[in-house]
A = this chain, B = another copy of it.
Amino acid sequence: METYYFGIDIGGTSVKCGLFEDEGRLLESWKIPTRLEKNGAYIVPDLVKSLQKKLREHSLAASCVGGLGIGVPGQTDENGSVLLAENLGWEEFPLAQLLKEQTGFPVKAENDANLAALGEYWYGSGKGSRSMMLVTLGTGVGCGIIVDGKILAGAHQAAGEIGHMHVDDELQETCSCGKCGCLEQVASARGLVRLAQRPGAGRTLSAREIFEAAEQKEEVSSAAVERFGEYLGKALAMCACVLDPEVIVIGGGVSGAGKFLVETVQKHYRRYAFLPCENTELRLAQLGNDAGICGAFRLIRG
């Protein structure tokens, strides 16, 4: 009898679900809305219903399911409890235990950035490497670290929180973390928009528009992209002095800027990197939004 697994990725607007075969083939993926009402009280029951429906559609017995891995936008502990997931309204929420009780499946839960990294490590741009950092450039800067196939979680679940590396002493605005001068304030989509602001200008360009204008060599946008690349390249060079990963993978919405982004960051990375790490490869992520469910599958599949 074939064994199947669920890989789940809870986001702020939708819960992404995947049904995987034992060998890793994604049989089907689908989404359900994330209902945030009542401190996220509907999220688990909605998910359980959807999974049961999917099993019926595929005429699969619950006994065929080897387990369920699930990613959360927040901190988890070793028992799969969610310590804090602000966007979902969860605090000290026993996610894995609840899901186990309501489905009967073995369940493991993890931070979503870590699972995205695990997904890219197994099936995406980290494939074949022994260690990898996935840096996710979106509204903020996220990061997951894999060493020898294992997630590096950290003593306070804060490993890979490179968005909060202090990289600028001049910045006056406060970061979401409460401090000033964080990488996330300059090397995220929002950060790029900030770097491209011109006094007295009319409409603000989006991160995407800034990259496009920079590729056309428009002056202000080019300068902003260079500064963005320098902040990020320098920070990644520092990360390499700590971790020395085999590959650095860049994902998230901003990575839509593609080769131009990677080349700009790599140029600055090389300037600041310690010699043995100078040629560490920077690659674009491959799995896009599927990275999370693929990592969730690997988490439970082992």
- Residues of A in contact (CB 8 Å), total 41
Q: Is A242 in contact with B147, judged by CB distance below 8 angstroms?
A: no
Contact A244 B274 (CB under 8 A): no
The answer on a CB contact under 8 Å between A156 and B244 is yes
Contact residue among B161, B178, B244 (Cβ-Cβ distance under 8 Å from A244): B161
A154 lies within 8 A of chain B by Cβ:
yes
B-contact 0/1 string along A146-172, CB 8 Å cutoff: 010000111111111111111000000
Q: How far is the CA of A147 from the CA of B276 in the complex (A)?
A: 22
Question: Are A155's CB and B246's CB within 8 A?
Answer: yes
Q: Which of A193-201, A206-214, A233-241 lies at the interface with chain B? A: A233-241
Contact A241 B274 (CB under 8 A): no
Cβ-closest chain B residue relative to A246: B155
Are A158 and B238 in contact (CB-based, < 8 A)? no
Q: Mark A28-48, 1 if CB is under 8 A from B, else 0.
A: 000000000000000000000
Q: B155 contacts A131, CB within 8 Å?
A: yes
Asked if A272 CB lies within 8 Å of chain B CBs, one says yes
- CB-CB contacts below 8 Å: A218-246 with B: 234, 237-246
Q: A147-B152, A152-B147, A152-B243 are in contact. Are A157 and B276 (CB under 8 A)?
A: yes
Shortest CB distance A127–B (Å): 15
Do A155 and B130 form a contact, CB below 8 Å, given A237-B166, A242-B145? yes
Among candidates B234, B242, B272, residue contacting A239 with C-beta atoms closer than 8 Å: B242
Q: How far is the CB of A34 from chain B (nearest CB, A)?
A: 25
> Which residues, 246 to 302 on A, are CB-close (under 8 Å) to B?
246, 272, 274-277, 280
Given contacts A147-B147, A178-B275, A275-B178, contact A241 B157 (CB under 8 A): no
Q: Say yes or no for A49: interface residue by CB 8 A criterion.
A: no
CA distance in complex: A239, B145 (Å): 13
Kindly state the separation between the CA atoms of A166 and B167 in the bound complex, as whole angstroms: 11
User: Given A165-B238, A237-B166, is A274 in contact with B158 using a C-beta cutoff of 8 Å?
Assistant: yes
A179 within 8 A of B: yes
5 contacts between A and B (CB under 8 A): A154-B244, A160-B244, A164-B274, A166-B272, A178-B275
Q: Closest 6 A-B residue pairs measured CB to CB? A: A154-B244, A155-B246, A164-B274, A156-B276, A159-B244, A158-B244
